[in-house]
Amino acid sequence: MLYSIKMRAESGSRHISGAERIVERREMAQVMDALTRRGLEHPNGPAENVTVTVRHITRPLLTIQALPVRDPKVQDMDEARRVLDAELRALGLQSAPVLSLLYGLREPMRGAVLLHADNLQRLEPDQQRGVRATCMDYTGNSGEGKNHFKEALCLASKVASCPQIIGELCISDDPDYTTGYFASRDRGYVRIHHIKASGMQLGGRIFLFRGEPGSLEQCMDYLEHQPVMVCME
């Protein structure tokens, strides 16, 4: 029997941090404790409340491979911009409007912008919240500490496996974490150092949607509810 355990930490209405695991019954107490501590001790805190939710998983699990990782040399924000430009243009997108949306996200969102790749319309039902990619974990996760890279690779691998998502852009909302990424099935997970200046509260994600109009529901259902285990091998 498997359980989804999700943690979110808030201060008033401000989102501070979130994390999740998929675990067996015997691991539950220890994982709940670790996630609760993480919510309380987050650098964007202090958190006023931490909510931990446990849900029995009923849908069949999907197991996927982690995206291959690329780590191009990027030494400043100009070079980061050029890498982002090139990745977006390779998808047939104009990069300027997408990047100004990404860098213009000033209100902290819990989820991502879901952006139609061709008409650049925002598709999230709730633009303040955004769309969450949840219900994923690594096979054999030891749960040791917070690792931005590993957690992002898990999320990005799930998101890239969604048939209607052609790419993802991410900037951490942690002020001192200045490495972000672009990810897609074709290009893999492209780490982008210096995606933002150190000390900036700025952060956010954009999922790029391309699909039949009727497939939007399916896409959001997959991102939010399909349990996915990610293999590192």
Residues near Mg ion (CB under 5 A): 17-18, 173-174
Which segment (5-13, 85-93, 95-103, 104-112) binds ligand WAQ by CB under 6 A? 104-112
Determine the Cα–Cα distance for residues 129 and 122; give it in Å rounded to an integer: 12
Question: What does 108 bind: ligand WAQ, Mg ion, none (CB cut-off 5 to 8 Å by kind)?
Answer: ligand WAQ
Cα 191 to Cα 59, 115, 123, 133, 146: the distances in Å are 32, 21, 26, 19, 18
Give the residue with the Cβ less far from ligand WAQ, 83 or 170. 170
- Nearest distance from C-beta of residue 26 to ligand WAQ, angstroms: 26
CA neighbor of 109 nearest in space, from 128, 126, 136, 95: 128
CB of 18 to Mg ion, least distance (A): 5
CA distance 179 to 197: 10
**Residue 73: exposed, middle, or buried by beta-carbon count in 10 A (0-12, 13-18, 19+)?**
exposed
Binding partner of 39, given Mg ion, ligand WAQ, none, CB within 5-8 angstroms per partner class: none
In the list ligand WAQ, Mg ion, none, the entry touching 180 (Cβ below 5 to 8 angstroms by class) is ligand WAQ
Which residues between 171 and 190 bind ligand WAQ (CB under 6 A)? 172-174, 177, 179-181
Measured distance CA(227)–CA(137) in Å, rounded: 8
226 binds, among Mg ion, ligand WAQ, none (CB under 5 to 8 A by kind): none
DSSP-derived secondary structure letter, 213: G
Binding mask 17-56 for ligand WAQ (x = CB under 6 A): -x--------------------------------------
Binding segment toward ligand WAQ, per CB under 6 A, in 25-33, 45-53, 75-83, 147-155: 147-155
Q: Using an 8 Å Cβ cutoff, are 95 and 89 in contact? A: yes
**Residue 116 DSSP SS3:** strand
Residue 44 beta carbon to Mg ion: minimum distance, rounded to whole angstroms = 7
No. of helices (H) and no. of strands (E), the chain? 5, 12
Number of residues that bind ligand WAQ (CB under 6 A): 25
Judged by DSSP in three states, 123 sits in coil
49 DSSP β-pair partners: 10
Between 95 and 178, CB nearer to Mg ion = 178
Measured from the Cβ of residue 121, the count of other Cβ atoms closer than 10 Å reads 10
CB of 139 to ligand WAQ, least distance (A): 19
Residues of this chain that bind ligand WAQ (CB under 6 A): 18, 108-109, 111-112, 130, 132-134, 148-149, 152, 155, 170, 172-174, 177, 179-181, 191, 203-205
